Amino acid sequence: MNARQAAAAVVDPEIRVITIDELGILRAVDQDPATGRVTVTITPTYTGCPAMDVIRSDIRRALAAAGHPDAEVRTVYSPAWSTDWISDAGRAKLTAAGIAPPAPVRAATVVPLTLAVRCPRCGSPETEQISRFGSTACKALWRCRSCSEPFDHLKAL
């Protein structure tokens, strides 16, 4: 397994169904051609994300297992992470796990406006926010009025 594959396979510690690559946290994996040293660049979903220490440790562990024991993990904050960085596969995995991902914006001139959050279980747009704060700081708690099930919604950033 190469360094990119090893880092990309690291699972997000708060949302265990998605990798850091699928979530868009993994920005780059570079290897110095002269020394072979690997540098991984990551961006947190928000400044102060408590999962970043675990993510850095998991990346180092994965790279060491892949034969890169001296890897550096850099954290960059600019440009800021966006939910647009979540891959299509990541959005599908979130939905399958009962977490409603925000719709992609993918245009700097568009202001995102959530008219409805579709229930990841039954697909109904008849939902309501119960709390701005869900199981983690990057999620809000919602409930479906059709099937009555609660679910997390990944906040759009």
User: How confident is the model over 57-93, as pLDDT tens digits?
Assistant: 999 999 999 999 999 999 999 999 999 999 999 999 9
- Would you place residue 111 in the very low, low, confident or very high pLDDT band (cuts 50, 70, 90)? low
User: For residue 17, what are its two tokens?
Assistant: 């169904």
pTM: 0.79
The three-class DSSP label of residue 3 is helix
pLDDT for the residue numbered 23: 96
- Percentage with pLDDT > 90 across the chain: 75
Q: Among 86-90, 124-128, 133-137, 147-151, where is mean pLDDT lowest?
A: 133-137
Q: Among 21-25, 32-36, 137-141, 150-154, where is mean pLDDT lowest?
A: 137-141
Give the number of other Cβ atoms within 10 Å of residue 145's Cβ: 11
pLDDT for the residue numbered 103: 79
- Model confidence at 106: pLDDT above 70: no
* Domains in the chain: ranges and CATH: 3-75 (3.30.300.130), 97-154 (no CATH)
| Beta carbons within 8 Å of 10's beta carbon, 6+ residues apart | 19, 20, 21, 26, 55, 58, 59, 62
pLDDT for the residue numbered 124: 95
